[in-house]
Structure 1
Amino acid sequence: MTDSAFDICLINARLATLDGDAGYGLIDDGAIACRYGMIVFAGPMSALPPHALDADQVLDCGGALVTPALIDCHTHLVFGGNRAGEFEQRLEGVSYEDIARAGGGIASSVRATRAASEDELLASALPRARALMRDGVATLEIKSGYGLEHDTELRMLRVARRLGQVLGITVKTTFLAAHALPPEYADRPDDYITFICNELLPDAAAQGLVDAVDAFCERIAFTPEQTARVFETARALGLPVKLHADQLSDSGGGALAALFDGLSADHVEHTSQASVEAMAQRGTVAVLLPGAFLCLRETKLPPIEAFRRHRVPMAVATDANPGTSPLLSLRLAMALACIQFRLTPEEALRGATCHAARALGLNDRGRLVAGQRADLALWQVHEPAELCYWLAGDLLKQLVIAGHPLG
């Protein structure tokens, strides 16, 4: 870096700033000036600060659309093996719950993940993370939950941390040991919850491996009472919570997440009006996961109109996982959210940027405004709606992370 006041300046861009609560915040003939990885200016080129064009690097965007880099706020990206066979079973009419009860589902991934070394898990996760980056993602959430015992849960969290270091992106880790009941605790779910609360979660937190705590609150997983025990432990440790809520039935998951000031309630297909209101009161984000909805051939839509009416922010994520959402494109998740859930393209873009940031407890990214982290995506399209309109294809022109262009 030279004596310039700016490390990079992007010019000749069409900016979708997402500034404010509505609209894309479009600025034609726009520019962005950055210093020390943060946005200092985002606005018309005619208003560029003095000496911005003397930046260490000036990137001519050639009229490209520039948005905040995308944020995938719900993934299970670290795992062993795959479940392509179960994909076939579901197409033949076997339900997700029947597969799980027969020892498949999460239990199948647990066996494969336990058998994999840390380096093997890293090697298998890297291509998946890179695929998401190729579609504009610069911040990832990654959950544990395929170990369900001490060593493998911590191994998954360490791999998630390493992914961020290797790729130079932000990775937020979520502790999800309350994902399913491990075989060692068959018919003893309360004992397993005790193990999580007394040993596993405190140890993972002490090692600095946990950014948030999640649980699967569902009839095939854990009850609201068991989930509340995990969340009480998280609160005692000073950790925020998230929740797999109301995916297959209404267990009051949205309200439970809100009760603990949860960052988000995720899936939310069966979330009730009462839960929507509780989420609105506590600022809990609704994370929509259209990939799982598609792969499970669900028909119960999330209460989108109720979320809109009560101004509950709606994030969109891939739920990338080996069983129910083998989806490695956040942009496709955005398109599916529009097609399946009737989100507008603007809502979908906000869902994968500023609202996704909020679902991770991050207030330093997701918009193109001064003071935000300079994570930027340059696209080979002109209109923001095209990011959802095109179902596939290489639309990303350049990814900029903390003011540093990749590639």
Structure 2
Amino acid sequence: MTTLPRSAVFINAAEVAVCTGPARASENADPAGVLHGVAVAVVNGVVEALGPQDDVLAQHPHLERVNCAGRTLTPGFVDSHTHAVFGRYRVEEYALRCTGVPYMEIARRGGGINASVRDLRGRGEDELVEMALPRLDEMLRGGTTTAEVKSGYGLSTESEIKTLRAIRRLNDLQPIELIPTFLGGHEVPPEYRDNRAAYVDLLVEEMIPAVAEAGLARFCDVFMEPGVFGRDETERILRAGLAHGLRPKLHADELEGSGGAELAAELGAASADHLGDISEAGIAALAASSTVATLLPGTLFFLGRPRWAPGRALLDAGATVALATDFNPGSSPTPSMHFILTAGCSRMGMSPAESLRAATAGGAAALELTDGRGTLAPGAPGDLVLWRASSAAEIPYRLAAPIIEGVWKAGERVV
């Protein structure tokens, strides 16, 4: 659905978090960029002015006024890592994990990613679209206005193309702007288990060229993990993607360290995601690069992992950090960026201001969006969330509470 640009001026907010500060908090720098006594003018879907309320009102006397009534205004969330197009949820696997069966053991029994592959292959494109729409509505109601969506549950040329076409159609059917990623390297499908090299050949020689020719994806991603794709396979796939204009991303160092963060930095990837078992060398590599460290605490929480990605260490080293949901049917079935903020603070050592910036401007950086997305700076899209909270710091404190008052996309109220 193309959201028609609208104009309005937002007044009487207790705080406006513009999220234009540095990734890391310091004595003189606030990542959330919290301002008081300011108004935000959105004209034709774009932030045109932000400043003292009386001045903005004088400049825009005829705009519709949105009275924030002492609430807090932030940019819309940019959820930079999701798998929101899939078939059914895998509830039965959660029940097994609750009895102590590990995730990788469930995968060995035929569950995990390949269970979703079998399911998705049996569904048509129309059905995938219809199943995804209510999930995207949940994301929107949780304040997400831009989201990356990956393929990766098809693992055949036909089914990967089908998924990416569904994502393209969904972009026209609802307000969230969707950024498509090709993840044919999500797993080796069962029919190639005895011939991994042939599947990598298929990815490089058939899938990637087909996806690029059809203009169906912006990024190419690979799940680099022991037992999934190794370094050499990952590098070959990502370099093939680069050769066809697809920017690299990595599922890196999620459950076991494998040098994924280092490879991401070496390739100049847009982001290295997960990082639950990143090494000191990996932290240093990301800090010295432009590659964004995307942390997915919902996954670690849902899988019951005792070790969490080192958000504090990454920030202190100088890396840019993003927070995202990893919304998927197996290891993180949540669309709630609000919960992710809290987990970033409570489990990864981030401050409320750092977590908010990571979920907005940080997510935009992970998607290489350069239009001001994830901020409320002049020239940025008019994507805003109004919270029933007296401060930005209260948002992660109110653990997943239903405190969103309204959501705007390009100045149009959509929630």
TM tier, shorter chain?
A: over 0.9
How high is the TM-score relative to the length of structure 2?
A: 0.94
Aligned counterparts, 1:3-402, within 5 A: 7-13=7-13, 14-21=15-22, 22-23=29-30, 24-48=32-56, 50-55=58-63, 57-364=64-371, 365-402=373-410
Check whether the contact 1:29–1:63 (CA below 8 A) recurs between aligned residues: no
How many residue pairs get aligned? The number is: 401
Please give the alpha-carbon distance, in whole angstroms, between the structure 2 residues aligned to 1:338 and 1:34: 31
Cα pair 1:27 1:44 within 8 Å, conserved: no
Answer whether contact 2:184 2:222 (CA < 8 A) is retained.
Answer: yes
- The residue identity in structure 1 corresponding to 2:285 is A
- Name structure 2 gaps, 5 residues minimum: 1-5, 23-28
1:119 positional shift: 1.4
Q: Helix, strand or coil: the match of 2:61? A: helix
- CA deviations 1:140-188 (Å, max 9, x no partner) are 1110000000111111111112222111221001100000111221221
1:319 Cα shift?
A: 0.6
Return 5+ residue gaps in structure 1 as ranges.
1-5
8 Å CA contact 1:178–1:214 kept in 2: the answer is yes
Higher normalized contact order (CA 8 Å, seq sep 6+, divided by chain length):
2
Q: Distance in 2 between matches of 1:386 and 1:125?
A: 31
CA distance in 2, matches of 1:406, 1:306: 37
Write the distance in 2 (CA, Å) between the matches of 1:20 and 1:387. Answer: 18
Give the ranges of 4+ consecutive aligned residues of structure 1 lying more than 6 Å apart after TM superposition.
none
- 1-side partners of 2:174 and 2:408: how far apart? 13
Query: Contact (CA 8 Å) 1:135, 1:395: kept in 2 or not?
Result: no
- CA shift for structure 1 position 49: 6.7
Bigger Cα displacement from structure 2, 41-50 vs 137-146: 41-50
Distance across 1 between alignment mates of 2:34 and 2:313? 28
> Between the two proteins, what is the percent identity of the paired residues?
39
Worse-superposed segment, 226-235 or 273-282: 273-282
Alignment partner of 1:104: what SS?
A: coil
Q: CA RMSD in A?
A: 1.4
Q: Which stretch has the larger CA shift, 104-113 or 21-30?
A: 21-30
Structure 1 residues 106, 69: closer, same or farther in 2, change over 3 A?
A: same
Do 2:252 and 2:272's aligned partners in 1 also have CA atoms closer than 8 Å? yes
Distance across 1 between alignment mates of 2:164 and 2:189? 18
CA distance in 2, matches of 1:305, 1:376: 27
Asked if structure 1 preserves the Cα contact closer than 8 Å seen for 2:185 and 2:222, the reply is yes
